[in-house]
Structure 1
Amino acid sequence: MSMSLDEDASTYGSNDGQGILNSLPGLVWTTDETGALCYANSRFTEFTGLMIDQGGSRQWASYLHPDDHLLVVPAQKGGAQLFAARLRRRDGQFEWFNLSASPMKGFGGEVCWLATERLERIDNQFGNADRDFRSFLDSLSLQALLLTPSLELEFGNQAALRWYGLSPGAQVQDRSVHFNLSKLKEIAFHSQAGQGRNDSAVVSYQALSADGTLRWLEAQVVQIRMQNGELAGYCVLQTDVQDSRDSSHLLGQEMEILEMVARGAPSASVLQRLCDVVADLVPDLVCGFLELSLDRKLFRMGAATRLAGEFREIFDGRSVISDKNPCSTAALTKRTVEIANMVESDQRETSMGEIMLANGLNYCKAIPILSPYGNTAGILAILRHQQADLGPREQQIVDRAKHIAAISIDRTRHEEALVRRETQVEQSQAQLVAAQRISSTGSFTSDIQRDENIWSEEFYRIFDLDPKLEPSIDAVRERVHPEDLDLFDFEMKRGFAGEDADFVFRIIRTDGTLRFIRGLARVTHYIGDHPVFMGTVQDITETRRAEDALRRGEEALAKAREELAYVSRVMTISALTTSIAHEVSQPLSGILANANACVRLLALDPPNIASATDTARRTIRDTMRATEVIKRLRAMFSRQSPPMEKIDLNEIAREVIALSARDMREKFIVLEARLAPELPPVTGDRIQLQQVILNMVLNGIEAMAETEERPRRLLVRTALVSEDILTLSISDAGVGIAADAADKMFEPFFTTKRDGMGIGLSISRSIVENHGGRMWAMSNDGPGATFAFSLPSLGKPTDRSAT
């Protein structure tokens, strides 16, 4: 503490510092190596009358009695010295003072002087030291001890007594057992070893404080010598540096741990290091860290002291809500959970409670570690044998450990999220590449006007281009088929104008193969006035080939279906051969009989003209009847389908009934026709629809061929079920349909008949569906089955009456 007399208090250090020196019970001043005053406190200036503005070059020896001037030199040679001297008051009178001179470490040759008033001589081991000096030591906030030359404790100031927890009234010899004298003797030995040097010995050691804890002290030992240079004892000034050592240790550990975080060390390693630091600084504390998964549903083991295995077993990978323990509650509520007495808590039977009690731990505090977004990222668990509030120092350690843990966990979570996103991007990219390869679709982004392009891997493959080739429109144009160049150039011109594109063109690859390409592009944004396109190119060659093959197959299928329908008609007519022969032979027989009768009537004399005329009319009638039957047969056998026409459903039903009437009479089948009047017409192929109705009638006839126990009845009905839907159904009283065969009845080649081919109903359904209708079969409530179909109508009723 040096200061020139012309300097203000701020130069010395602070107003507080100068105030402390002014309040000391004595005169304080400092001198340099020449003996010139550097600083003087207010007591010195008041006693001597020295004015601050008198300058700093004044020699302080001018204030000493002339007989005491020789004391100035020895005061600047060795360590601290105590002696008596006379100082001049402002009125010129001299008074005796006990002077203490101590070289100032780190300030060259400067010396700090302290003068206390001389009350009486004290003849002891300290020579001229008096009670005022001890009073001065008692006023200090740092601990001060005085030792004899034989290293016995002689004096301890108030600060020292308070630190050791001793009563001020006890004799110092009785209190010496509380001081670590063995360590102090070792310190004094270091001081003796350094005798003759200006610097004092500074040593750190541990001692038991008033609260019974072992704490670190830092002691500075100063030799005290009498006027004749003889060793009078030692002055030990010591300070409790436990907190500063802890802070320094914690700060150093923090720096190392933060370096671990910066280097990307796993959070488990960082958290374990934090646990070790807390356990080192607060030995009676058991701490543990838990992390939460990114979705905050699961615990992950971070680190723990003493209980690492047990903690891992009950928390690692477990659901946050699986057990109502303090850590789970803190994680869910984002609030600190404290249990003062686990033995009496309702959570003593939880997994965490059982582990704590098994290890003699009864106090628990679960502190949530929050992310920057306010979500729970982890838990700091503090466990103790008994409840004890954290002291300021302990709270600081816990808070700093929690803060660093939050940083580490947050960094880990960000890295995990980043890795997850990178993985998702890589997977998406891989899926995109695979999808483009599977679908033969390449993607591109293009500024056509600048010819700046980005192509996907599949784009290069489709056009058979070197992946190292710089993307350009010309590179693609070179692959375009000559016949499609005009189309390609036209679409590029439209692109220059900012119009979207969707067109198909051909390319020729390097191996000479021809491929069909569909190009699709859309404007996504503009750079200045330049449109930027994003689009796809797809190789549709195989699709084109498949479509061609499908078209050829459909044509072949239609032809086969037509052939099959023709065969079905032939087979159907074959089944009606007998009935048809009767229908044809009957009018022919009538024609022959009428012709003979007409000849006879004309041969009479006179000819019977009237009767012959009637006979001729009957001949014409029978001829027309035969002609109509033959016309129907020719239509049924014809392979050329007539054009679609308006058809009266009732009319074609009557024609089919007429063709099959004889067959039904011979098999004793009673036909009932319930044809709805004024049905609107339908549009269709007359012959094909007649074939459907005839197949349905023949199926009904065959279904009743072996029916003997009940009447054989066939009911033909038409109906208008809605404004635009007509139905025709044929119900029989035959064997019916099995429950699992209703849908199979219409499958090709499925039949329940002994000699059936299984194509009649399949052809019939196909015909109905081609007419926009639907065909189905169902069992009757009684015996037999019903086959029906529906067709869309034209909406205008036909003015005919039911038969």
Structure 2
Amino acid sequence: MSISLNEEATPTEPDTALILEHLPGLVWTTDATGTISYCNTRLGEYAGIDFGMSRSSHWASVLHPDDAMYAVQYGQSARRTKGHTVINARLRRNDGEFRWFELSASPLADGGKVCWLATELHESASDRTQEEIESRFRRFVNSLSVPALLITPAFELEFANQAALRWYGFLPEGSEQEALADMEPRKFDEILLPLKAHMKGEQTAVVSYQAQHADGTPRWLEAQVVPILEKSGELTNYFVLQNDVQDSRDAAYLLGKEMEILDMVARGTPSASVLQELCNVVDDLIPDLLCCFLELSLDRKFFRMGAAPRLPSEFREIFDRKSVAADKNACSFAALTKKAVEIQNLVETDHSNTSMGQFMLANKLNYCRAIPILSPYGNTAGIFAILRQQHFELKPRELQIVDRVAHIAGISIDRTRHEEALVKRETQFKRSQAQLVAAQRISSTGSFTSDIQRGENIWSEEFYRIFDLDPELEPSIDAVRERIHPEDLELFNVEMQRGLAGEGSDFVFRIIRTDASVRFIRGLAKVTHYIGDHPIFMGTVQDITETKRAEDALRRGEEALLKAREELAYVSRAMTISALTTSIAHEVSQPLSGILANANACVRLLALDPPDIASAADTARRTIRDTMRATEVVKRLRAMFNRQSPAMDEIDLNEIAREVIALSARDMRERSIVLESGLASGLPSVRGDRIQLQQVILNLVLNGIEAMVEIEGRPRRLLVLTSREEEMVTLSIVDAGVGIAADSAERLFEPFFTTKRNGMGIGLSISRSIIENHGGSMWATPNDGPGTTVTFSIPRTPPLAPSV
């Protein structure tokens, strides 16, 4: 009787169970471990085994020991590949005889199970010779895609299939040779020594060890060892199936390292440590590769060393803090072009002349590949460089390792760059805040943001200091209002009402601090935006007390300066008149002498008998004329000494120029100075103070005379010119004196600057001030020849509007 060992796997459909019971063969199913989970009645009757509920059986227990290993392997292959498999194997009958069956293995969709159908071939084990059996077994083993070995109990290699010979490099790829090559005994040792070391003294079903692959690299193998026993139980051989698990071990190692390194990144480990660990991963998985990571500065202009654990320190010196564009090497090209750069044979390229190329040659490195690590924004963030002594194409496994390592490096570098950018922004923000606080303290300016309607305010540190408020105090308008001077409180309230209406403000008010001091404050606020219908203000308050005091002091200073300027002008006029004393005395003495002579003549004419009345009358008229003449001279002199306020009248510039020329004519004659005038006819009048303008012209004439006192060997000429230029009337004094340097022309008008031996240096400064007060300007220029020209221009009197 046959029953299921797994109730869940028992066919429950009646029709299915009926079909399986009536199939002309033995039917059973196995799970992933090879344990029978279902069998039909025929298998139980044939094998004479009671598959009861009390014990589970591996299906290999009904197989011939020589067929067990490869039959089980076929079953596992069918389960992995999900393909139909047919093999021949011997099954033990209930009387102990082995009969040949054709076994068909079909994978089921349910949990990796396999369904077996065994059909008898009607020949017994004795019908085949041992040679046929072994030949058939070896042909079967050779057909396996995995390396398989047959080893004697003394650990000598008896047989290796083609897959094993190719794996160890003893059989060229694609060869159909079915037997062992003629190999030296040491070759067998290369295959068996690692296996012996793990099997010695142990009967282990699965052995893991390293062996040398055909490409010369050590690789991890996982071997399933199945002992082959005679009927008597004597061990005849070990059948070994080898599975190359290096890639899976590498994948597991890489996955574990990835998780570990990503955890480092997540915990904020510095990128240098992360990149160092990634280099260690590459070193472990691809030992013949030398690798390094370079990071780029935030502005992408400079390299900085990330990690290069197996490279000499000279490599760091080539790149660390060096310009990306300085050395046209592979890493620089990759950084600039954002494309991978591969150098397969360094000595055949121009890269050998670069600093990196010289380093590679010195260290016998001839292959390089520089891979750019790009940021999420497409910019180069770093370089992953791998170096080798010779060029070998990277295998798919190696390419996968390089790509995954570069990807994780990109994550770490990107995080580091974000942190650096954040730190930089935070530093800049803190520096800006510190600068703002310092600037506000220096300028005594506080800032605020205010929603007046909601009573929400934000004040700067300087705002609190200006109003002498506790920094812990909650900002409020009422707190400010308590500091307002009583006389300015109404003004402050009006400005607050304007703010509530959404208008800006700019006004000056006073506050009283806790020490009873009064400070002047300028408040400025503007609406920056609205939240709903609420205007949000941003503004400043500035303590302008010192400015107000300075303005008052400046105003007082200007008043004092104006008074001093008037005093200086008076002194200047006095000095000018003093210089003209001789000429004035001559001008006055002439009419006085005429008056005296005429008076004496008049007396004599009247004393005649009869008196000469007509002649006496003429003499009296001449006396009156000379008296008027002397009176006019005295009036002009008195006006120049008079300290009266300026009187603005319409003035003929030609007329006052002639008056000045007349006053200074005698002085010029005594100094042999030729006076020439070019007074323009029809000159418009100007509006100004007659006495001040006369003083200016006289000062310029005297300066010209003074400049020519020491001139010898050429004519002393003084030219007085007037002209009209558009809306200005111009007067120029041209002398032939010592002249001035071009760079001194403007300095002539500076107070107390003089080129005279005994001059005070205030005449031209006062003269320019007078002209500028008349809305004009004054300047000096060196002549083409000897001497200097000093010119001033003032606006003409506007013409009267025509009457309608």
Give the TM-score taking structure 2 as reference length.
Answer: 0.84
Is the 1:289–1:302 contact (alpha carbons within 8 Å) kept by the matching residues of 2?
yes
Query: Structure 1, residues 413-434: CA drift from partner, whole Å, max 9, x if none?
Result: 1111111111111111110000
Paired residue for 2:272? Answer: 268
Indicate which of 450, 465, 471 corresponds to 2:454. 450
Paired residue for 2:18? Answer: none
Separation of aligned partners in 1, 2:488 and 2:232? 121
Q: Does 1:761 align with 2:760?
A: no
Is the 2:141–2:161 contact (alpha carbons within 8 Å) kept by the matching residues of 1?
yes
For residue 552 of structure 1, report the CA deviation from its aligned partner: 0.2
Query: Structure 1, residues 775-794: CA drift from partner, whole Å, max 9, x if none?
Result: 33344333333332222323
Query: Structure 1, residues 737-765: CA drift from partner, whole Å, max 9, x if none?
Result: 35664444333333344433332222222
Paired residue for 2:716? Answer: 712
Is the 1:725–1:792 contact (alpha carbons within 8 Å) kept by the matching residues of 2?
yes
Per mean C-alpha deviation after superposition, the further-off stretch among 766-775 and 280-289 is 766-775
- CA change 1:125–1:651 in 2 (3 A) is farther
Indicate which of 651, 663, 667 corresponds to 2:667. 663
**Local SS of the residue matching 1:180:** helix
Query: Structure 1, residues 109-150: CA drift from partner, whole Å, max 9, x if none?
Result: x99998985866489999997655555544443333333344
Separation of aligned partners in 2, 1:601 and 1:7? 179
- Superposition pairs of residues 299-310 of structure 1, within 5 angstroms: 299-310=303-314
Indicate which of 372, 375, 382 corresponds to 1:371. 375
Separation of aligned partners in 2, 1:434 and 1:551? 30
Q: Does 1:62 align with 2:61?
A: no
Is the 2:62–2:91 contact (alpha carbons within 8 Å) kept by the matching residues of 1?
no
For residue 58 of structure 1, report the CA deviation from its aligned partner: 4.4
For residue 703 of structure 1, report the CA deviation from its aligned partner: 2.8
Letter of the structure 2 residue corresponding to residue 769 of structure 1: E
- CA change 1:266–1:124 in 2 (3 A) is farther
- Superposition pairs of residues 187-226 of structure 1, within 5 angstroms: 187-189=198-200, 191-192=202-203, 201-226=205-230
Separation of aligned partners in 2, 1:789 and 1:86? 138
Paired residue for 2:70? Answer: none
Is the 2:142–2:178 contact (alpha carbons within 8 Å) kept by the matching residues of 1?
no
- CA change 1:490–1:484 in 2 (3 A) is same
Is the 1:594–1:615 contact (alpha carbons within 8 Å) kept by the matching residues of 2?
yes
Query: Structure 1, residues 648-677: CA drift from partner, whole Å, max 9, x if none?
Result: 111110011111122223333221111111
Paired residue for 1:340? Answer: 344
For residue 326 of structure 1, report the CA deviation from its aligned partner: 1.2
Indicate which of 526, 533, 536 corresponds to 1:529. 533
- CA change 1:358–1:642 in 2 (3 A) is closer
- CA change 1:708–1:368 in 2 (3 A) is closer
Paired residue for 1:560? Answer: 564
Is the 1:724–1:792 contact (alpha carbons within 8 Å) kept by the matching residues of 2?
yes
For residue 513 of structure 1, report the CA deviation from its aligned partner: 0.6
Letter of the structure 2 residue corresponding to residue 248 of structure 1: A
- CA change 1:447–1:7 in 2 (3 A) is farther
Paired residue for 2:690? Answer: 686
Paired residue for 2:787? Answer: 784
Letter of the structure 2 residue corresponding to residue 518 of structure 1: R
Separation of aligned partners in 2, 1:175 and 1:526? 94
Is the 1:155–1:172 contact (alpha carbons within 8 Å) kept by the matching residues of 2?
no
Paired residue for 2:498? Answer: 494
Q: Does 1:321 align with 2:325?
A: yes
**Local SS of the residue matching 2:386:** strand
- Superposition pairs of residues 399-418 of structure 1, within 5 angstroms: 399-418=403-422
For residue 272 of structure 1, report the CA deviation from its aligned partner: 1.7
Per mean C-alpha deviation after superposition, the further-off stretch among 616-625 and 431-440 is 616-625
Letter of the structure 1 residue corresponding to residue 178 of structure 2: G
Paired residue for 2:148? Answer: 144
**Local SS of the residue matching 2:299:** coil
Separation of aligned partners in 1, 2:194 and 2:310? 34
Paired residue for 1:21? Answer: none
Letter of the structure 2 residue corresponding to residue 714 of structure 1: L
Paired residue for 1:242? Answer: 246
Is the 2:150–2:239 contact (alpha carbons within 8 Å) kept by the matching residues of 1?
yes
Paired residue for 1:591? Answer: 595
**Local SS of the residue matching 1:657:** helix
Separation of aligned partners in 1, 2:329 and 2:236? 66
Per mean C-alpha deviation after superposition, the further-off stretch among 349-358 and 449-458 is 349-358
Indicate which of 737, 740, 745 corresponds to 2:740. 737
- Superposition pairs of residues 340-359 of structure 1, within 5 angstroms: 340-359=344-363
Give the TM-score taking structure 1 as reference length.
Answer: 0.84
Is the 2:369–2:387 contact (alpha carbons within 8 Å) kept by the matching residues of 1?
yes
- CA change 1:229–1:170 in 2 (3 A) is closer
Is the 2:646–2:692 contact (alpha carbons within 8 Å) kept by the matching residues of 1?
no
For residue 462 of structure 1, report the CA deviation from its aligned partner: 0.3
- Superposition pairs of residues 563-574 of structure 1, within 5 angstroms: 563-574=567-578
Letter of the structure 2 residue corresponding to residue 675 of structure 1: L
Query: Structure 1, residues 87-112: CA drift from partner, whole Å, max 9, x if none?
Result: 79xxxxx9923799xxxxxx9xx999
Unaligned runs of 5+ in 1: 9-25, 40-55, 89-93, 101-106, 193-199, 798-803
Q: Does 1:395 align with 2:399?
A: yes
Separation of aligned partners in 1, 2:58 and 2:764? 135
Is the 1:444–1:534 contact (alpha carbons within 8 Å) kept by the matching residues of 2?
yes
Paired residue for 2:649? Answer: 645
- Superposition pairs of residues 154-233 of structure 1, within 5 angstroms: 154-167=158-171, 168-171=177-180, 177-178=187-188, 180-189=191-200, 191-192=202-203, 201-233=205-237
**Local SS of the residue matching 2:193:** helix
For residue 546 of structure 1, report the CA deviation from its aligned partner: 0.3
Is the 1:147–1:155 contact (alpha carbons within 8 Å) kept by the matching residues of 2?
yes
Letter of the structure 2 residue corresponding to residue 450 of structure 1: R
Paired residue for 2:69? Answer: none
**Local SS of the residue matching 1:511:** coil
For residue 556 of structure 1, report the CA deviation from its aligned partner: 0.1
Is the 2:291–2:387 contact (alpha carbons within 8 Å) kept by the matching residues of 1?
yes
Separation of aligned partners in 1, 2:268 and 2:329? 32
For residue 632 of structure 1, report the CA deviation from its aligned partner: 0.7
- CA change 1:337–1:36 in 2 (3 A) is closer
**Local SS of the residue matching 1:672:** strand
Separation of aligned partners in 1, 2:516 and 2:336? 68
Separation of aligned partners in 2, 1:708 and 1:152? 134
Paired residue for 1:82? Answer: 65
Paired residue for 1:507? Answer: 511
Is the 1:444–1:454 contact (alpha carbons within 8 Å) kept by the matching residues of 2?
yes
**Local SS of the residue matching 2:560:** helix
Letter of the structure 1 residue corresponding to residue 37 of structure 2: C
Percentage of identical aligned residues: 70
Q: Does 1:628 align with 2:639?
A: no
Larger RCO: 1 or 2 (CA < 8 Å, sep 6+): 1
For residue 730 of structure 1, report the CA deviation from its aligned partner: 1.8
- CA change 1:598–1:585 in 2 (3 A) is same
For residue 57 of structure 1, report the CA deviation from its aligned partner: 6.8
Is the 2:100–2:124 contact (alpha carbons within 8 Å) kept by the matching residues of 1?
no
Paired residue for 1:771? Answer: 774
For residue 572 of structure 1, report the CA deviation from its aligned partner: 0.7
**Local SS of the residue matching 2:556:** helix
For residue 710 of structure 1, report the CA deviation from its aligned partner: 3.2
- Superposition pairs of residues 24-173 of structure 1, within 5 angstroms: 29-30=28-29, 38=37, 58=41, 60-64=43-47, 82=65, 85=91, 96-97=99-100, 121=125, 132-167=136-171, 168-171=177-180
Is the 1:191–1:222 contact (alpha carbons within 8 Å) kept by the matching residues of 2?
no
Query: Structure 1, residues 30-74: CA drift from partner, whole Å, max 9, x if none?
Result: 469xx99635xxxxxxxxxxxxxxxx67473124479999xx999
Letter of the structure 2 residue corresponding to residue 758 of structure 1: G
For residue 238 of structure 1, report the CA deviation from its aligned partner: 2.3
